[in-house]
Structure 1
Amino acid sequence: MFLKSLTMSRHTLKVAVIGAGASGLCAARHLLSRPHVFAPPVVYELSDCAGGTWVYTDKVGMDDYGLPIHCSMYRDLRTNLPKEVMAFPDFPFDSQLPSFIHHSDVRSYLEQYADHFEIQPHVKFRTHVELLNPVSGTTGDAWNSWEVTSLNLNNHCRNTERFDSVIVCNGHYSEPFIPHIPEIEYFKGQKMHSHEYRFAEPFTGKNVVLLGAGPSGTDIALELCSVAKQVVLMHNHSLITSSMPQNFLQVKGLNRFSETGVICNDEREYPADVFMFCTGYKYSFPFLSKNVCLEVKDQRVAPLYKHIVHTTFPTLFFIGLCMTVCPFPLFHCQVLFALASLDGTHKLPPKAEMDAVTEDEYQSCLQNGIPHRHFHKLDSRQWGYNAELAQLSKTDPLAPVTRDLYEANKKFRKEDLCNYKRFNYKIVGDDTWITVKPKPL
């Protein structure tokens, strides 16, 4: 009833988008495609260009404005997903590019996307969102509008604007998560997080220990093997079984630090000139008012319905929180669901029902061995999730080939971590792809 009255009370809805990375650009693109329902969006972007995490810089630490550098990209990074499954469904990558592309190609793709859908004029660059606050509606029974207070970093002018809805697209690859490890204070080598890693040359001839075997940990470990004396990857996942470089070791069970290295559970010590945390990132929303009552506890964000909708304030949406997914297609599905919830295509259930559905999903995850901290880590659950969002928003589902190629690539990566990026793929139908064999070594 609340959202129905919202859509009927104004000619168009005014929506703010926080962040001009891939998910924010996707939100803006679809808001602009429905001018009969939505006013042109206002997109707030901290940096001076679109692209979010795909905008590379050599700098680490703080930027020229005293704000933390958000980039977690490294110089030689290539995607670990083929471009054929990475693209937004309505905007393919250049077919001339290889399947596993350099990060600069992804940035160029997002710039082309922004130009094609004429998003750039609606982005307020170099604008820092300081506060997002809910404002009580005129009926007194719902929080149905929002005030966004922002600071223009160029002229230092502060501004507050009011919106009917806000879509948060600020990403989650910028604030490092660093677990506590006993006796780390005694370690005399260099400590860093993968967020600060840019290129391999400074590690030449060194013993490097990395903690964490996610995509960044394994990828950086392989880069370092080309220059380091020894690379030790410590993790608690299943051991990597594919052929690896001779100076690569993997160890389970980090116990504590020594002055000169790390000690694992069997008391074996591994020397380390450098210790690198490849332990992921924390969700962070420093601009949210306390009135929003969003809880972030051990990597779970609540109360969110379908990982998107704030159940207390159902005009506040979060796009892209889910991990271990095919990101751009997932953003597409999430954005269309959010807009369907706003324009009345999909009527959201009452808060109690949304919370109950979320709790059922959470308990099901726990019963299936998925820990609390991985609630937003979808992996193969993403396909049913995306299909459900498409069904609820009455939009076209993702083509089956996206799932098929994504899952095949996951298998190939596990079998041959060093060489899987040499393959190229071609999609020849909604449910068919073919492999282009790699060039001989």
Structure 2
Amino acid sequence: MSKRRVAVIGAGAAGLCAARHLTTKPAQFDVVVFEKSDRVGGTWVYTENVGLDEYGLPIHSSMYKSLKTNLPKEIMAFPDFPFDERLPSFIKHTDVLDYLQQYSDHFQLHNFIQFSTVVEMVKPIKSSDDAITWEITVLNLRTRHRTTSIFHQIMVCNGHYAIPNIPDLPGRDKFKGYQLHSHNYRHPDVFKDQKVVVLGAASSGLDIILDIAPHAKHVYLSHWKDRVVAPLPDNIEQAKEVVSFTQEDVVFADGEKCKPDAIIYCTGYNYDFSFLTPECQLTVDDRRIMPLYKHIIHTSFPSLAFIGITQKVLPFPHFTAQVKFVLASWIGTYQLPGQTEMDASTEEDFRWRTTTLKMPHRYAHFMGSIMREYHQDLLEMAKEHQFKPVLMDLYEEMYRIRRINLMHYKKLGFKVLDDENFQLLEVDTQ
């Protein structure tokens, strides 16, 4: 196999993971990582700023000031690079950013990264023998110099927590109160003595209601899911999903109304592949990205891979499994099926989710409890060592603990004893 040029788009956790494993094969891959910011870390790079950055691009990070991880560090780490043992189990976003910088330094990944460089266009080029290469145009934000280069393979690692999804509800533009998406949430004291409606009861919604509760007068947690069963602060009230607005009111699905001062949309994010030309043949339909085999490899263009588009995952180990699977397919350790078979497998996975598991269409790339089998599948095909069972055992235990102890679970501590066992170190519910 001749040496191939590989582009990695993004130097957040997924992009760093891609670079770390690609660069272990210098005889096979010539790696370039394009990162639009001036440092590694992606969404973990906290900034007080919202809106646009100094180059007129949307702020990428969705971190808020007091954010801590909702998974313990004992299972969050890349398998070959543990977190500092002196840190508590649930760590600050600044600790995660420090960790990613240390990861980059340890594996000398900065040598492969072009910072302040935004990818503007990716286009497939077919040669006379039907081989596919990729034309990539990038802009250096500092010099404003634009260059175009040819690559043989691409890993897209640009994240999916940067482009807010705000539901287009009737009357939303007429509502006179303060509105923002969780992407732009930074400090809870902005909502001091206010009535606040928080839309969405996934991770960000549940974190933010607890962050603002000590400051707000009253908080409505508005969602369509089953009621949160864990105890909540006295000033938090659960409500049905918001269906419309008036100038002063929010109207819930059961007909109840309230007059809030502010709305926080914890309603998720949209994918952004605007740099891919139509020739890339990628579509996004209600958060389902097609056509991706195993949620990773483009079935029409197997040299184009997407790392980390999945949701509800154990991120850093998850990226590792995906990257190793892609590498195995690219170096021939694993022989990909033909396009027809890959497309059929992709459709079968989607039908299984929507029919057997009763997932909505937009959960096409959700993992959660099915992540264990997914990792095992990828690593087996890649002929790589399986993850320690304790990773998913503790992940699933954390899901159970969060469900009943939402207010205090981040005060707990854990220790991994061996490949299969962990220990709860501390219980502090005060």
- The TM tier, using the shorter chain, reads over 0.9
Tell me, what secondary structure is at the counterpart of 2:417? strand
Name the residue aligned to 1:5.
Answer: none
After superposition, the C-alpha distances for 1:250-282 in whole angstroms (9 at most, x for unaligned) are 111323212223111332211210011100000
1:432 aligns with 2:421: yes
Letter in 1 for 2:75: V
Equivalent residues in 2 for 1:92-103, closer than 5 Å: 92-103=82-93
Name the residue aligned to 2:246.
Answer: 258
**Residue of structure 2 aligned with 1:84, choices 74, 77, 89:** 74
Equivalent residues in 2 for 1:139-150, closer than 5 Å: 139=129, 141-142=130-131, 144-150=132-138
Name the residue aligned to 1:19.
Answer: 10
CA distance in 2, matches of 1:31, 1:357: 27
Equivalent residues in 2 for 1:9-408, closer than 5 Å: 10=2, 12-39=3-30, 41-139=31-129, 141-142=130-131, 144-368=132-356, 369-408=358-397
- Bigger Cα displacement from structure 2, 236-245 vs 73-82: 236-245
CA distance in 2, matches of 1:22, 1:346: 25
CA distance in 2, matches of 1:412, 1:16: 40
Letter in 1 for 2:239: V
Tell me, what secondary structure is at the counterpart of 1:301? strand
Deviation (angstroms), 1:398: 1.0
Letter in 2 for 1:19: G
Say if 2:196 and 2:220, in contact at 8 Å, map to a contact too: yes
Letter in 1 for 2:98: S
Deviation (angstroms), 1:13: 1.6
Aligned residues: 429
**Residue of structure 2 aligned with 1:420, choices 401, 409, 424:** 409
What is the TM-score with the length of structure 1 in the denominator? 0.96
Deviation (angstroms), 1:32: 0.9
Name the residue aligned to 1:4.
Answer: none
CA distance in 2, matches of 1:314, 1:138: 18
Q: Taking structure 1 as reference, are residues 432 and 220 closer, same or farther at Cα in structure 2, changes over 3 Å only?
A: same
Letter in 2 for 1:384: E
Deviation (angstroms), 1:440: 6.9
Say if 2:240 and 2:254, in contact at 8 Å, map to a contact too: no
CA distance in 2, matches of 1:95, 1:382: 26
After superposition, the C-alpha distances for 1:74-93 in whole angstroms (9 at most, x for unaligned) are 01000000011100111100
Letter in 2 for 1:112: Q
Gapped regions of structure 2 (runs ≥ 5): none
Gapped regions of structure 1 (runs ≥ 5): 1-7
After superposition, the C-alpha distances for 1:29-75 in whole angstroms (9 at most, x for unaligned) are 00111123222x10000000000000000000000001110111001
CA distance in 2, matches of 1:253, 1:48: 40
CA distance in 2, matches of 1:390, 1:67: 37
Deviation (angstroms), 1:138: 4.2
What is the TM-score with the length of structure 2 in the denominator? 0.98
After superposition, the C-alpha distances for 1:176-234 in whole angstroms (9 at most, x for unaligned) are 11112112233110111111100111111111101100100010011110100001010
After superposition, the C-alpha distances for 1:410-433 in whole angstroms (9 at most, x for unaligned) are 100001100011100000101110
| Structure 1 segments (4+ residues) deviating >3 Å | 438-441
CA distance in 2, matches of 1:181, 1:89: 43
Say if 2:411 and 2:429, in contact at 8 Å, map to a contact too: no
CA distance in 2, matches of 1:253, 1:307: 30
